[in-house]
Amino acid sequence: MRTLCFGDAIVDLICHRPASSYDEVDGFVPAPGGVIANVAVTAARHGAAVSFAGGAGEDRWGRWLHERLAAAGIDLRWFALAKGHATAIAFTTVDEQGEPTWELYGDGVAASVGVLEGLLPEAVEATDALLFTSNTLADKSAAQLTMDARERALELGRPVVFDPSVRLHRWRNSPSGAAAACNACVPEAFLVKCNAAEARLMTGESNAEAAAASLLAGGAKHAIVTLGSGGAILRAKGMQVDVRAAPVGRVASTIGAGDVFLGVLVAQLGLTDYYPSALAAALPAAAEQAARACERWGALDEGAAR
């Protein structure tokens, strides 16, 4: 089954050394970035059929992104470069613990919406499953496009995967607005995957078990809550699976580790026609690959960072 990954793509410019301030930065290295790009590339590398519906600016960075996404084996027939838009770029540093800080320039969501008006329904109908995040829910026009795609996928009986990936600045730091938008995507979702902070935001529950139960009560068929070094839990009707976090040799950066985790799951789901038990079977491999991502400066780097 081919999974349609809908959203924005950005360029991550990553400092390949710990830096507590820009005074300590000696350079940045570019990498394809953004949740959707990280998930799509990871899934494709693990053998899945993946399409990307989105866009970037019609500029040199946009062309650079397009080339690298294509080289990863992603179907880009619904990915285009938008005239009049600059490709979003995130200047990224990490501290000694590997925690990242971003400064984002440009709006990749605007570019995506600009190229997908009228095309997204076609993309949903031509593929077998839909994956999206909350990044396209904060803007009114983008949210309408997203929710229409979601409804069409459900009408067609397509599995829908939702990763909140909440960035509060998109909602002008309004937790209630972000929570309402995310919770609207829970009913009938095949999978809702979130981290502990997102689960708490959406459900009000600080306990992962209670948060997962709330997501299931809200209509999700499967709920995964990731807990960082605490591993992850998967809950569904008749399914209760816990996985430990895999050991990390030396943390370089946590950038995109959760995206890699989800990409491995999406790959296994696509390869098994979204067979529910494939989620449980893939959890250990997802945890392992998320740990390996923490040893690299960027989620999609293929070599060790330190």
Q: What is the 3-state secondary structure (H, E, C) of the chain?
A: CEEEEECCCEEEEEEEEECCCHHHCCCCEEEEECHHHHHHHHHHHCCCEEEEEEEEECCHHHHHHHHHHHHCCCECCCEEEECCCCCCEEEEEECCCCCEEEEEECCHHHHHHHHHCCCHHHHHHHCCEEEEEHHHCCCHHHHHHHHHHHHHHHHCCCCEEEECCCCHHHHCCCHHHHHHHHHCCCCCCCEEEEEHHHHHHHHCCCCHHHHHHHHHHCCCCEEEEECHHHCEEEEECCEEEEECCCCCCCCCCCCCHHHHHHHHHHHHHHHCCCCCHHHHHHHHHHHHHHHHHCCCCCCCCCCCCC
* Tens-digit pLDDT string for the chain (306 aa): 999 999 988 999 999 999 988 889 999 999 999 999 999 999 999 999 999 999 999 999 999 999 999 999 999 999 999 888 899 999 999 999 999 998 999 877 877 777 787 889 999 999 999 999 999 999 888 999 999 999 999 999 999 999 999 988 888 878 999 999 999 999 999 999 999 999 999 999 999 999 999 999 999 999 999 999 999 999 999 999 999 999 999 999 999 999 999 999 999 999 999 999 999 999 999 999 999 999 999 888 865 454
User: Hey, what domains does the chain have and what are their CATH numbers?
Assistant: 2-293 (3.40.1190.20)
Token pair recorded at residue 99: 């925690």
User: Rounded distance, CA 44 to CA 51, Å?
Assistant: 9
Q: What angle do CA 96, 299, 255 make, to 5 degrees?
A: 40
pLDDT for the residue 53? 95
User: Rounded distance, CA 25 to CA 155, Å?
Assistant: 50
Contacts of 176 (CB under 8 A, 6+ apart): none
pLDDT for the residue 269? 98
Q: Tell me the HSE value of 15 on the side-chain side, using a 13 A CA sphere.
A: 23
pLDDT for the residue 289? 97
pLDDT for the residue 99? 92
CB 100 within 8 A of CB 254: yes
What type of residue sits at position 233?
Answer: I
Contacts of 71 (CB under 8 A, 6+ apart): none
Contacts of 145 (CB under 8 A, 6+ apart): 113, 116, 117, 120, 136
pLDDT for the residue 304? 47
In Å, how far from its chain's centre is CA 73?
18
CB 39 within 8 A of CB 163: yes
pLDDT for the residue 171? 82
pLDDT for the residue 170? 84
pTM of structure:
0.95
Q: Tell me the HSE value of 172 on the side-chain side, using a 13 A CA sphere.
A: 2
